[in-house]
Amino acid sequence: MQTTDKTAKEIYFDVINNPARKRFGFGRKAVLVNIDPQKAYTCTDEFATAYETDPKQMQYINELSQRFRELGWPVVWTHVAYMESGEDAGIWGTRTDTPDSLQNIKFDSRRSEFDDRLDIDRVKDVVYLKKMPSAFFETQLQSLLVWHQVDTVIITGGSTSGCVRATAVDSLSRGYRTIVPEECVADKHESYHYANLTDLALKYADVVSVDEVMTYLSQQDEK
């Protein structure tokens, strides 16, 4: 095992700025999967479980979502919420039982609501309730992507080390080109965030700037 005195952030920038780093690249058609941008994880002034990395994250997610709609490409939002007993959280909900615990994000609670800053099209966009980390696990996401004939999955939301990473691994495992716009994902701690961006970039996804994703989307008008 290699050892280093560098921080996770320093290691990430070493990786991302390496000119020899290979990419999967963008494909012909993409889906935007916005993972759990709900108040439990976005309202830092209200909930201890919330976090913020880039203060413009919600703005970027809105801009991407609008561009996808203009192209007629699918926009997906996921959130987590559980029944009063918390039994539907399974083993994931057994390690702690405090007001901040995962299984205590109850149906119709404020913690389960999407962030008020988000522009969600309740007619065109697809909303999935999920119970586990990956947006693919026991949702209809896979069927949606087959129907829309997409080959690229662009992931935003949080957390980088949790549900974003799990979704990216499942996306790659299903044969999709997987893209993570750096400014559009967030985590509780800088170390977790950058360590997982590094791992994603090295193994499972292309970690790129949101500007690069917008450039790709703007090029679709020329086809």
Query: What domains sit in the chain, N to C, each tagged with a CATH number?
Result: 26-222 (3.40.50.850)
pTM greater than the 0.85 cutoff: yes
Q: Would strands 152-158 and 30-35 be described as parallel, antiparallel, or unpaired?
A: parallel
Tens-digit pLDDT profile for the chain (223 aa)?
A: 989 999 999 999 999 999 888 999 999 999 999 999 999 999 999 999 999 999 999 999 999 999 999 999 999 999 999 999 999 999 999 999 999 999 999 999 999 999 999 999 999 999 999 999 999 999 999 999 999 999 999 999 999 999 999 999 999 999 999 999 999 999 999 999 999 999 999 999 999 999 999 999 999 976 5
Q: Which of 58, 89, 145, 163 is catalytic?
A: 163
pLDDT of residue 19: 86
pLDDT of residue 221: 75
pLDDT of residue 212: 98
pLDDT of residue 120: 98
Q: Is 163 one of the annotated active-site residues of the chain?
A: yes
pLDDT of residue 52: 97
List CB contacts of 64: < 8 A, sequence separation 6 or more: 32, 154, 156, 181, 184, 210, 213, 214, 217
